[in-house]
A and B are shown apart, each in its own frame.
Chain A
Amino acid sequence: MTNQGWAHLDLRSLALFRIALGGVLLFDIASRFRDVTAFFTDEGVLPRLVLVESNYSDYWLDFHLGVGTTSGLVVLLCLQLFLAGGVLIGWQTRWTTLGSWVMLNSLHARNPFVHDRGDLELALLLFWGVFLPLGARWSVDARRSEPIPGSERGLPAAAYIVQIALVYLFAAYLKYGDFWLVRGDGMYHSLLSPLFATGLAGWLSTWPPTLLKVVNYGTIAGEYFVGFLLLCPKSVNLLRSSAIVLIASFHLGVLILFKLGLFPIIALVSLLALVPQSWWKMPPLSALEEVLDKRVGGEGVPTGVGLLGKLFVGSCLALAILSNVAKRPDTDAFSRPKMVRRLSQLVRVEQNWDLFSPQPPYNGVFELQKVDDPGVLITIPESRDFRNHRWRMLMISSLYPSFYQVRPGLVRELLKDQEPGEYEYRFRVRLTEPDGKVGEAEVWSLWRGVVEE
């Protein structure tokens, strides 16, 4: 294999990444329609008034706060679909990518409680994608011989590669504490949690503890390893190829073991931009290139990124790195000045890869109990599963005292098809003892009130 420079991304890989990114974005936005009233309107779980009165209304520019009706939000989602379509086909690629980034962050800000790290990664991919020539191949822009802003080499490419590496390095870095490092049973407890684990995960949790410890420490080591593979400037083809294969395998494993919505898919899509040049010489990519050249065509020349652009990208990369380094609360080795944190939030590179860490997900189920009729008891996810991943995230968010605002609206939504009356919303959980054993069940009462018709 010929050696590819480290800070270099192949234009074909970027185009493939763009198409997949547009596709994921389209799917993500389209999936929001079914819960648009519940999640984003004044009739749902988080009316605008409740949000602006909370501490969570100033995440960013929240254009979805401009209207509170279903029809209004549908219009905004349709706008996002239009922009995502532009990304997919490579039409006005930079502007549609930027527009998608702005609107996606706005949507996240409208209801922060239904989003997860997959959504964060999707937004970051769009952000760094603005500076890459995503439309250089197989795009409307390229076919029209439009100038292709962005650079596939140098700082923009380096920033993208570093960002992907940061995800794994700091996912490992944040697996500290008793579960993941001291006892090595973080993986075991993650597999036990009914909130995220699939049936297969439940079966895996019955494996011998020693084997599960190997998987536990192997996961941490693997995350560090792939991060370093991506950052290593030598033997780029080999090391990057290895990293892609390992990361892809990891996420395929995550996909079958845990219910994490689009997160594994988004992570797999992020790898497409890293596909080295050498892969395009071999099937199936060589065949794909032939088909796309024939059916779509278009070969544009990137115009690069000017000095100001490079300064901006470099600054944002520095903010992203600092954001990750500052996330470890058990050490006081590093804390950022307030201005740095604010800048990081302003450009939306603030990130946290605490994936099932430092504590694994709770081992518990939600209960909705009618107060005057003990026979009416709904347990989620036992008697009834979560409606979808976003409802899962919302209900998990409702566990935290600082997110109490969503509880009344959430309960009313969940009990829409039930008889009115007084209900209690609670969480039955089995916490882990200091010795690693699962303790007795305890009940957390989250909300109690009257649900009307």
Chain B
Amino acid sequence: MVRTPLLSLDLRSLAIWRMGLGGLVLVDILLRARDLQAFYGDQGVLSRQLSLSQTWLGDPYYLFFATGTTTGLVILFGVGALAAICLMVGYRTRVAGFACWAFLISVQLRNPMVINGGDELLRVLMFWTPFLPLGARWSLDAREQESWAHLPNDYRSIATAGIYVQYVLFYLFAAILKSGPEWRQTGEAIYYVFAHNQYTTGFGQRFLAFPEQLRYLTWMVLAVEFLLPVLLVVSMRVRKARGLFLLMAVGFHLAIASVLHLGLFVPITIVCLAVFIPGWWWTDAEKEDAESEVGRRPSGYDLSIPVQVGAGFMIFYLFFVNIYSIEHHHKLPPWAYRVAIYTYQHQHWHLFSPSPNYRGGFFRLEVETPEGVQDILEVEPLQEDGQPRLGSARFRNDRWRRWMQNLVEISREDASGWQASTLDYLLWQWWEKHPEAEVTRARLVYVERMTPPPGEQATSKRIVLAERQERGKLTPRSKPPGVRG
């Protein structure tokens, strides 16, 4: 049995990975399209006017500032979808990979407050696609080049090393950054994650009845996150370790999906693992070495020296930003920041870390009418006691969850603008359906509930995030917020 070269990936696995990446980008686009105007348009919660007037806007290029209209956004999203389809089918693979990467960065930059860890992982992995021969197998590009069938299935380059390094760092630092006492000492981290309630599924909520047993789950999560990168490294030499790695990783992420609503995070992590499917899973037959019969090679197969040097620097950069993130949350030194602007490879795997968020709660959108005060937030209604049945059900979808969470989690003066625009947008949406309503006051309220230790009762606090009040009756806007003239 011939040993596979260290840090190598199978061309067939790369092809599956390519299809998966394209599919993920396509699904992401379709899901984002549900809230096209809400999150990316001038009529939504983060209009271009609001973005441009704020302090967090930096130096990068914001493609999605090109338009604020639905038509324009549909065009941009359409181009992204086209790139994703091309990547899936392996048509002009390198260009498609680059286009998907550029699209992901652009859409995430447009509204960074709705992204999660899955978006980051997808973005950093997509960076490597132009440097890998993703079109060498099972692609439209390969159909035009029959000689590519003679290429050996094992492929190794600085880019494949980058993929391995990225995954090792992802799991390793997800574990390392879980440094709070809830993870390392008391073991109560999983309890607090579930009790926070904004992510927990109905199934996950049932585990709250067993707070002591949840400690074991805490240790298990840490153990798995430390073990996975070790398994991945070992699997480069020990065949069976690769299977174990994949099984453990998939199982781990499926388990997470059963107890937490994390949007596309779990599908992204599982699908992207396809890159590590070992060659012997496809076929054990040795391929006759006929590389000399290959004419033009797939794009990304042979990397020039400058590209290899650049990729090598990027691997160093990945190590640097991850190590730096241990002590510095969301900060980079100036040189690393400049690199980040052009490559978007900065990352921080603070996934419920260093400690889980204690600041739970739920939102209300209150309007005062002659009939009284009513909560008009268009999600699962509150129970009779004024509490939600399930905290995670009080969000329309995962993007709304991230947006609303950031309204309270991010403490900067810009936040008041976001809170006001959120109130305006949601109120306008409701008014479209209830134009006859006589509203004298409207409020966006956060009922904050600090997660108590096991066995204790939580206390709530009402925080009014934004309010609209006028003498007499609030006038329904004839145009949605942010529309001029």
**Nearest residue in B to A345 (C-beta to C-beta)?**
B71
- The answer on a CB contact under 8 Å between A66 and B72 is no
**Complex CA–CA separation, A69 to B60 (angstroms):** 10
**Complex CA–CA separation, A33 to B253 (angstroms):** 52
Quick one: which of B61, B64, B72, B76 contacts A72, CB cutoff 8 A?
B61
A342 CB contacts on chain B under 8 angstroms: 71
**Complex CA–CA separation, A54 to B484 (angstroms):** 7
**Complex CA–CA separation, A53 to B48 (angstroms):** 9
> Which of A25-73 touch B at CB < 8 Å?
47-49, 52-55, 57-58, 60-63, 65-67, 69, 72
Cβ of A291 to closest chain B Cβ, rounded Å: 36
Cβ of A268 to closest chain B Cβ, rounded Å: 32
- The answer on a CB contact under 8 Å between B52 and A49 is yes
- The answer on a CB contact under 8 Å between A65 and B65 is yes
- The answer on a CB contact under 8 Å between B52 and A66 is no
- The answer on a CB contact under 8 Å between A66 and B48 is no
Q: Does A346 contact B (CB under 8 A)?
A: yes
- The answer on a CB contact under 8 Å between B484 and A55 is yes
- The answer on a CB contact under 8 Å between A67 and B61 is yes
A49 CB contacts on chain B under 8 angstroms: 49, 52-53
**Nearest residue in A to B485 (C-beta to C-beta)?**
A55
Q: Does A106 contact B (CB under 8 A)?
A: yes
**Complex CA–CA separation, A55 to B72 (angstroms):** 16
**Complex CA–CA separation, A100 to B145 (angstroms):** 32
**Nearest residue in B to A64 (C-beta to C-beta)?**
B66
Q: Does B354 contact A (CB under 8 A)?
A: no
- The answer on a CB contact under 8 Å between A62 and B484 is no
Cβ of B459 to closest chain A Cβ, rounded Å: 42
- The answer on a CB contact under 8 Å between A66 and B49 is no
**Complex CA–CA separation, A54 to B61 (angstroms):** 22
Quick one: which of A52, A60, A61 contacts B52, CB cutoff 8 A?
A52
**Complex CA–CA separation, A65 to B68 (angstroms):** 11
- The answer on a CB contact under 8 Å between A53 and B484 is yes
**Complex CA–CA separation, A346 to B71 (angstroms):** 9
> Which of B49-65 touch A at CB < 8 Å?
49, 52-53, 59-65
- The answer on a CB contact under 8 Å between A61 and B76 is yes
- The answer on a CB contact under 8 Å between B66 and A106 is yes
Tell me how many residues of A have a C-beta within 8 Å of chain B: 21
**Complex CA–CA separation, A46 to B65 (angstroms):** 15
Size range of the chain B interface in the assembly: 20 to 34
| Given A52-B49, A54-B484, residue A67 in contact with residue B62 (CB < 8 A) | yes
A52 CB contacts on chain B under 8 angstroms: 42, 47-49, 52, 65, 68
A57 CB contacts on chain B under 8 angstroms: 42, 48, 68
Cβ of B41 to closest chain A Cβ, rounded Å: 11
B47 CB contacts on chain A under 8 angstroms: 52
| Given A49-B52, A57-B48, residue A66 in contact with residue B63 (CB < 8 A) | yes
Q: Does B75 contact A (CB under 8 A)?
A: yes
A58 CB contacts on chain B under 8 angstroms: 42, 67-69, 72
A55 CB contacts on chain B under 8 angstroms: 484-485
B71 CB contacts on chain A under 8 angstroms: 342, 346
Q: Choose among B52, B60, B61, B68 the residue with the greatest number of A CB atoms under 10 Å from its CB.
A: B52
Cβ of B338 to closest chain A Cβ, rounded Å: 12
Cβ of A19 to closest chain B Cβ, rounded Å: 28
Contact with A along B123-138 (1 / 0, CB 8 A): 0000000000000000
**Nearest residue in A to B65 (C-beta to C-beta)?**
A65
A63 CB contacts on chain B under 8 angstroms: 63, 66
- The answer on a CB contact under 8 Å between A66 and B65 is yes
> Which of B245-297 touch A at CB < 8 Å?
none
**Complex CA–CA separation, A60 to B47 (angstroms):** 16
A53 CB contacts on chain B under 8 angstroms: 49, 484
- The answer on a CB contact under 8 Å between A48 and B66 is no
Cβ of B193 to closest chain A Cβ, rounded Å: 38
**Complex CA–CA separation, A388 to B60 (angstroms):** 31
- The answer on a CB contact under 8 Å between A66 and B61 is yes
- The answer on a CB contact under 8 Å between A66 and B484 is no
- The answer on a CB contact under 8 Å between B59 and A69 is yes
**Nearest residue in A to B109 (C-beta to C-beta)?**
A66
**Complex CA–CA separation, A29 to B391 (angstroms):** 55
- The answer on a CB contact under 8 Å between B485 and A66 is no
Quick one: which of B59, B60, B66, B69 contacts A65, CB cutoff 8 A?
B66
**Nearest residue in B to A71 (C-beta to C-beta)?**
B59
- The answer on a CB contact under 8 Å between A62 and B49 is no
**Complex CA–CA separation, A60 to B53 (angstroms):** 22
**Complex CA–CA separation, A72 to B62 (angstroms):** 11
**Complex CA–CA separation, A65 to B72 (angstroms):** 13
> Which of B16-75 touch A at CB < 8 Å?
42, 47-49, 52-53, 59-69, 71-72, 75
**Complex CA–CA separation, A58 to B484 (angstroms):** 11
A66 CB contacts on chain B under 8 angstroms: 61-66
**Complex CA–CA separation, A58 to B65 (angstroms):** 11
- The answer on a CB contact under 8 Å between B62 and A62 is no
**Complex CA–CA separation, A55 to B47 (angstroms):** 14
Cβ of B314 to closest chain A Cβ, rounded Å: 21
Cβ of A25 to closest chain B Cβ, rounded Å: 21
Cβ of B28 to closest chain A Cβ, rounded Å: 21
**Complex CA–CA separation, A58 to B482 (angstroms):** 13
Contact with A along B59-101 (1 / 0, CB 8 A): 1111111111101100110000000000000000000000000
B60 CB contacts on chain A under 8 angstroms: 67
Cβ of B54 to closest chain A Cβ, rounded Å: 10
**Complex CA–CA separation, A259 to B71 (angstroms):** 38
Cβ of B113 to closest chain A Cβ, rounded Å: 19
- The answer on a CB contact under 8 Å between B484 and A48 is no
Cβ of B77 to closest chain A Cβ, rounded Å: 12
B61 CB contacts on chain A under 8 angstroms: 66-67, 72
- The answer on a CB contact under 8 Å between B72 and A61 is yes
Cβ of B386 to closest chain A Cβ, rounded Å: 40
| Given A48-B52, A49-B52, A52-B52, residue A61 in contact with residue B485 (CB < 8 A) | no
**Complex CA–CA separation, A106 to B61 (angstroms):** 15
**Nearest residue in B to A56 (C-beta to C-beta)?**
B484
**Complex CA–CA separation, A425 to B71 (angstroms):** 39
B72 CB contacts on chain A under 8 angstroms: 58, 60-61
Cβ of A147 to closest chain B Cβ, rounded Å: 15
Cβ of A271 to closest chain B Cβ, rounded Å: 33
**Complex CA–CA separation, A57 to B68 (angstroms):** 8
A67 CB contacts on chain B under 8 angstroms: 59-62
**Complex CA–CA separation, A49 to B59 (angstroms):** 15
**Complex CA–CA separation, A49 to B53 (angstroms):** 7
**Complex CA–CA separation, A169 to B53 (angstroms):** 45
**Nearest residue in B to A110 (C-beta to C-beta)?**
B66
Cβ of B144 to closest chain A Cβ, rounded Å: 15
Q: Interface residues, chain A, CB within 8 Å of chain B?
A: 47-49, 52-55, 57-58, 60-63, 65-67, 69, 72, 106, 342, 346
With A62-B66, A65-B62 known, 9 other A-B pairs at CB within 8 A are: A52-B68, A55-B484, A58-B72, A61-B76, A62-B67, A65-B65, A66-B63, A342-B71, A346-B71
**7 closest A-B pairs by CB:** A49-B52, A65-B65, A52-B48, A66-B62, A66-B61, A61-B66, A63-B66
A-B contact pairs, 22 of them (CB 8 A): A48-B52, A49-B53, A52-B49, A52-B65, A53-B484, A54-B484, A57-B68, A58-B42, A58-B69, A58-B72, A61-B66, A61-B75, A62-B65, A63-B63, A65-B62, A65-B66, A66-B62, A66-B66, A67-B60, A67-B62, A106-B66, A342-B71
